[in-house]
Amino acid sequence: MVLWKSPTLPYIKVNTDGSLWHNSAACGGIFRDQTSAFLGGFSAFLGNISVLEAEIMGFILTMELVAKYNWRYVWIEGDSTSAL
């Protein structure tokens, strides 16, 4: 379930991840404000792609949501240095 609310403070942190299991890829992310309050999250099934592509799609979907909600101060974090 996704719950989007207006952040009380302007700083947002996003943790993203991509995964691959039996040739099926997915990605997701969690948004929190600077007090660690949950702002929302997402997940997406991506089909038959590589784990690197899944990590990159996690970043792309994150940036699309950041633009949609007009958040300005965002720290995006992931565990793939190749995708970054």
pTM comes to 0.80
Mapped onto helix, strand or coil, the DSSP state of residue 65 is helix
- In the three-class reduction of DSSP (H, G, I as helix; E, B as strand; rest coil), residue 43 is classed as strand
Q: Thinking of the domain 11-77, which architecture would CATH place it in?
A: 2-Layer Sandwich (3.30)
Count the neighbouring beta carbons within 10 Å of the beta carbon of residue 41.
17
Token readout for 56 is 């990159």
Percent of the chain whose predicted confidence (pLDDT) is above 90: 51
Residues contacting residue 10 through CB under 8 Å, at least 6 positions apart: 71, 72, 73
The predicted-structure confidence for 45-59, as pLDDT tens digits, reads as follows 999 999 899 999 999
In sequence order, what DSSP letters do the residues of 5-26 get, joined into one string? Answer: ---SSSEEEEEEEEEEETTEEE
In this predicted model, what pLDDT tens digit does every residue of 13-27 receive, in sequence order?
999 999 999 989 999
